[in-house]
């Protein structure tokens, strides 16, 4: 049952990304071009994601999912070096490629060569990041 619910949720999420334009690299880069031809429509997509999640954290406090386990806790509102550096790197990659992990997965069927280059680079980053962090912490 857990896998069926996860599949349905993933399909809804991917469909939402496609419908909202988050898989359109030009639209995403237009959102990030604040001093040029700015396209504010993705603000509604972000609000449509953040507002329900904030409500869900309030409504699920002390409850557990129908599939068992626990709901994730809200993140700690703590700024640190890792958060700032990670956010800057994520933002630079998002601005350059016009994609981030979720939309890139949703665009696999129609993304073309540049999407596959992005996915390989994303995978390499996921592989290298823990090793770089371990070297920095040592």
Q: Where are the domains of the chain?
A: 2-137
Residue 106, token pair as written in the block: 């949703």
Question: How high is the pLDDT of residue 78?
Answer: 82
Q: How confident is the model at residue 127 (pLDDT cuts 50, 70, 90)?
A: very high
Tokens, residue 7: 């599949």
- 54 has pLDDT over 80: yes
pLDDT given for residue 108 in this prediction: 82
Tell me the C-alpha distance between 115 and 21, whole Å.
15
Report pLDDT digits (tens) over 17-47.
Answer: 888 888 888 888 888 888 888 888 888 888 8
What is the percent of the chain with per-residue pLDDT over 90, rounded to a whole number? 4
């Amino acid at each position: 049952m857990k896998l069926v619910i996860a599949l349905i949720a993933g399909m809804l999420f991917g469909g939402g990304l496609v419908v909202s334009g988050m898989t359109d690299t030009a639209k995403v880069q237009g959102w990030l071009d604040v001093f040029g031809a700015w396209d504010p429509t993705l603000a509604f997509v972000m609000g449509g994601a953040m507002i329900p999640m904030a409500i869900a954290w309030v409504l699920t406090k002390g409850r557990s999912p129908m599939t068992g386990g626990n709901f994730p806790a809200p993140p700690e509102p703590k700024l640190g070096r890792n958060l700032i550096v990670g956010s800057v790197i994520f933002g630079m990659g998002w601005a350059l490629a016009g994609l981030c992990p979720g939309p890139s997965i949703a665009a696999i069927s129609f993304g073309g060569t540049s999407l596959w280059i992005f996915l390989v680079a994303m995978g390499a980053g996921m592989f290298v990041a823990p090793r770089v962090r371990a070297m920095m912490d040592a």
